[in-house]
Amino acid sequence: MANEINNQLYDTYGDRWYSAYDDPVALLRAESKTKVPWVLEKLAAAGISRGASLLDVGCGGGFLSNALAEKDFTVTGVDISADSLLVAARHDRTGRARYVHGDAYALPFPDRSFAIVTAMDFLEHVEDPARAIREISRVLQPGGLFFYHTFNRNPIAGLLVIKMVEWLVANTPKNMHLYRMFLKPREVEKYCRENGMEVQEVVGLRPIFSTIPIGRIFSGVVPESLTFKVVRSTLISYMGYAKKPAG
């Protein structure tokens, strides 16, 4: 259907999760090189030590899960795509990450199971993000942190994230993103607050345009040199983290 998100595409990637450059999945790989250090910085500042239990909701091919397993966190990745979980496990160089098939609306874990929960590039893929955040809060321990990344809902973000990617990246699937499912930062903050978590910080994320060779702009391929950076503006996409009060 024209107005239905295409989440089935993640069952088709296989090892292209880690190898494709003619597909938007390459953008996720590039973004993760900036997201991971930011998450690690905030965890260190909060005094959450390595070894802490971490759940990655909507883990996909395991970019974040595997990177944090390599930093000695006790990582569980959960996703509704069984094929993506197989890829994530194959690319886990530590052999310690645990991958579980599950639905974000009914996470298969007891209450207060994890010190950290992440949901990167996930909330814009579910019809009821408030319900998903309610489940995330349920499994998050008191004093724990919830990290997220998603896209802002405004015409400029819609043009860049949907239309520009369709025009410039060769194998962009139909309905990979839908504008109506993008989330304003205040909406995510509201869902967190309603479920006992308070947002601590929100930052923007955008590409460094000088890392895109001019001759590659219309090649249909994401250049390996592409780099993203943290910025103050949340106009296009944004990362944030919320804390569940202790006690």
More confident residue, 219 or 73: 73
Residue 213 confidence (pLDDT):
87
- Residue 101 domain-assigned? yes
Tell me the per-residue pLDDT of 105-156, one tens digit each, with 9 for 90 and over.
Answer: 999 999 999 999 999 999 999 999 999 999 999 999 999 999 999 999 999 9
Judge whether 221 lies within some domain: yes
Q: Indicate the average pLDDT of the chain.
A: 96
Q: Indicate whether 1 pLDDT > 60.
A: no
pLDDT higher than 90, residue 81: yes
Give the domain extent around 134: 7-243
Question: What pLDDT score was predicted for residue 247?
Answer: 75
Mean pLDDT of 22-42: 97
Position 216 pLDDT exceeds 80: no
Residue 121 domain flag: yes
CATH number at residue 59: 3.40.50.150
- Return the HEC string of the chain: CCCCCCHHHHHCCCCHHHHCCCCCHHHHHHHHHHHHHHHHHHHHHCCCCCCCEEEEECCCCCHHHHHHHCCCCEEEEEECCHHHHHHHHHCCCCCCCEEEECECCECCCCCCCEEEEEEECCHHHCCCHHHHHHHHHHHEEEEEEEEEEEECCCHHHHHHHHHHHHHHECCCCCCCCCHHHCCCHHHHHHHHHHCCCEEEEEEEEEECHHHCCHHHCCCECCCCCCCEEEECCCCCEEEEEEECCCC
In the chain, the percentage of residues whose pLDDT exceeds 70 is: 99
pLDDT in tens, 51-78: 999 999 999 999 999 999 999 999 999 9
Compute CA distances 170 → 24, 25, 161, 221, whole Å. Answer: 8, 11, 14, 7
pTM higher than the cut 0.95: yes
Structural domain contains residue 1: no
**Taking 80 as the threshold, does the pLDDT of residue 94 lie above it?**
yes
More confident: 21 or 3: 21
Report, as an integer, the average pLDDT of 187-197. Answer: 98
Does residue 232 lie within any of the structural domains? Answer: yes
Number of domains in the chain: 1
Which pLDDT does position 158 carry in this prediction?
96
> Is the distance from CB of 38 to CB of 239 less than 8 angstroms?
yes
pLDDT of 159 over the 60 cut:
yes
Indicate the pLDDT class of residue 2, thresholds 50, 70 and 90.
low
